[in-house]
Amino acid sequence: MTEENKWKEVSKDLSDISSKIRDNLIDDENITDLKETLNSAKNSIKNNFSNLISAIEDTVKDDEIREDALNVVKKMKDEFSKSFDDIKDKIPNISDLGFNENQTSEEE
């Protein structure tokens, strides 16, 4: 292999590495955007569950109906939590989404 061919090969290797780094940076940006979007969605859903729980507690006077409604909301919240956990497991380097940080007043 001539000296010129060696330099062409080195240049090609450097170009390949540069391309991989650039692709990796783009992937990291996409992952960061996805994390931020998921976190925003998680916070919105947590607020909706909190509002729903408050509304049930404030408006439903019958104890049995209130407890049944709160149990349904808890089951829904648990299903969303499982969905977020599944998503979290599929995304590299994502931190805990913390969906279960706020418990229903029944659980506290």
Q: Where are the domains of the chain?
A: 3-101
3-state SS assignment for residue 42: helix
What pLDDT is recorded for position 71? 94
Task: Give dist(CA 74, CA 70) in Å, integer.
Answer: 6
pLDDT confidence of residue 59: 95
pTM over 0.75: no
CA–CA distance, 93 with 70 (Å, rounded to integer): 34
On the 0-12 / 13-18 / 19+ scale of CB atoms within 10 A, 45 is: middle
What digits encode the pLDDT tens for the residues 18-72? Answer: 777 666 666 777 777 877 888 888 888 888 998 999 999 999 999 999 999 999 9
Quickly state the pLDDT bin for 93 (edges 50, 70, 90): low
- Name the more confident of 93 and 27: 27
